[in-house]
Amino acid sequence: MGKKVVTLAYGCQMSERDAGTLTEITRQLGYTSSDELQTADLVIVNTCCVRESAENKILGKIGELKKLKEKNPNLKIAISGCMVQQPGALERLQKRAPHVDIWAGTHNLHDFSVLLERAEQGGKVAEVWQEPKKAIESTPLAEKGKLQANVNIMYGCDNFCSYCIVPHVRGRERSRHPEEIIQEINYLVANGCREVTLLGQNVNSYGKEFSPAYDFADLLRDVDQIPHLLRIRYITSHPKDLSDKLIETVAQGEKLCEHFHLPIQSGSNFILERMNRKYTREYYLSRVERIRRLLPQASLTTDIIVGFPGESEEDFEQTLAMMDSVHYSQAFTFMYSKRSGTLAANMEDQIPLDVKKRRLQRLMSEQNQKSLEWRQQMIGKTYEVLVEGPSKTNPQRLTGRTRGNELVVFSGNPEIIGSLVNVRIVEAGSWTLVGDIERP
């Protein structure tokens, strides 16, 4: 029997994609991917450190793995990614979790096979480079028949938003060459993939180092030409770099989904400046207006942080007002979490936890209402849906997403999984839509 690996991914899509790379590397070494911790020979935890709550959850999981190792001393445990990469974190983590065999930073994932080999020979291994030393590469992942795939188009971030740990653990921004990206997508499509999500911390600054000039809109236009690919999504768009050219390209593209994830973070200019976001609420609204003018049906989603240092009730009210004016279909809302090494961690006027909690509750309840209204205005209209598979809550029915990324449940023959159908929305639930397929 071959060895089994369980890979656990915490955090954003980039972390998920990295976890996929690690699983693929172990597959090439003869491991089979599994979900069962009890029978695993290797457990990999790819970590996130963007908020303290994520870190606490992961530390709990690493603690649980100790019991597993006591039962099976041959088990190898690897901890990788952002948490390990934080300045000064490795020593602290090693002391706290001596049962871990491999520690790998964000710049050491591609050498994972070497690290694993060393650990299998019986040693403890830790590799955390401060910077990437190799040219950019990506391990292509193609699970046969998997409809959706994430594709890295760039790594790192140069923005240094004052609350954010990402630039400190993922290094400076670097873009992959378009030919390499297109080659990877062609490979995915040949293996059954029909929808790709292009990943970058700020996709709008893709290619800024390229000469001759070639930007994100150019890449989208080229990916749009790939035969048999049905849909293209991307995250994340930093509002400061969202160009007219990009909005126009999305409007003209055939497969480019009319969904903009445009993190606002705060609706107050005072807070936006302290966050180092480099745009104002007025500029943000002008971008939204431009999108709505060219693409009236586009869905907008966002990320919002409440309780950033110095946020007054009035600043918070401005965030609520912004949510009201834009009318997001969905918002990911977070309480500010102090991250050591970031500028905001040393700011005065940190907001007490009870105030942050109260603001988050209010924001979430207002957004839930807005999201419901958004879904309700879809009733009676027909949308193109990519059929993804049986619904998780009712396997007798099918599920899929609109171009705006709204989840729809409907009845249909499982033979249509992987194809595009037109669905008329008949009901808007708290989180999903219910529809009927329209016969051609």
Least separation, in Å, of the C-beta of 414 and ligand SF4?
Answer: 39
- Bridge partners, residue 232, by sequence: 196, 256
Amino acid at 338: K
- Token reading at 158: 């140069």
The residue with tokens 């963007």 is 50
**Residue from 314, 307, 299, 310 nearest 333 by CA:** 307
Query: Phi and psi for 393 in degrees, rounded to 5?
Result: -85, -25
Q: How many helices (H) and strands (E) does the chain have?
A: 13, 19
Decide whether 23 or 201 has the Cβ nearer to ligand SF4: 201
Decide whether 105 or 263 has the Cβ nearer to ligand SAM: 263
Q: Which does 12 bind (CB under 5 to 8 A by kind): ligand SAM, ligand SF4, none?
A: ligand SAM
Q: Which does 305 bind (CB under 5 to 8 A by kind): ligand SAM, ligand SF4, none?
A: ligand SAM
- Token reading at 377: 């205005």
Decide whether 161 or 409 has the Cβ nearer to ligand SF4: 161
Decide whether 106 or 337 has the Cβ nearer to ligand SAM: 337
Least separation, in Å, of the C-beta of 426 and ligand SAM?
Answer: 34
Decide whether 194 or 238 has the Cβ nearer to ligand SF4: 238
Residue 53 CB partners (closer than 8 Å, separation 6+) = 337
Least separation, in Å, of the C-beta of 334 and ligand SAM?
Answer: 4
- Say if CB 295 and CB 256 are below 8 A apart: no
Least separation, in Å, of the C-beta of 52 and ligand SF4?
Answer: 16
| Local structure of 190: helix, strand or coil | helix
How many CB atoms sit inside 10 A of residue 213's CB?
8
Q: Which does 337 bind (CB under 5 to 8 A by kind): ligand SAM, ligand SF4, none?
A: ligand SAM
Least separation, in Å, of the C-beta of 328 and ligand SAM?
Answer: 13
Angle between helices 13-28 and 112-120 (to 10 degrees): 60
Instruction: Give the DSSP letter of residue 416.
Output: G
Q: Which does 307 bind (CB under 5 to 8 A by kind): ligand SAM, ligand SF4, none?
A: none
Decide whether 76 or 170 has the Cβ nearer to ligand SF4: 170
Q: In the complex, which residues of this chain contact ligand SAM (CB under 6 A)?
A: 12, 50-51, 163-164, 166, 201-202, 236, 238, 263, 265, 303, 305, 334, 336-337, 339
Least separation, in Å, of the C-beta of 204 and ligand SF4?
Answer: 10
Q: In the complex, which residues of this chain contact ligand SF4 (CB under 6 A)?
A: 157, 159-161, 164, 166-167, 201-202, 238
Length of the chain: 440
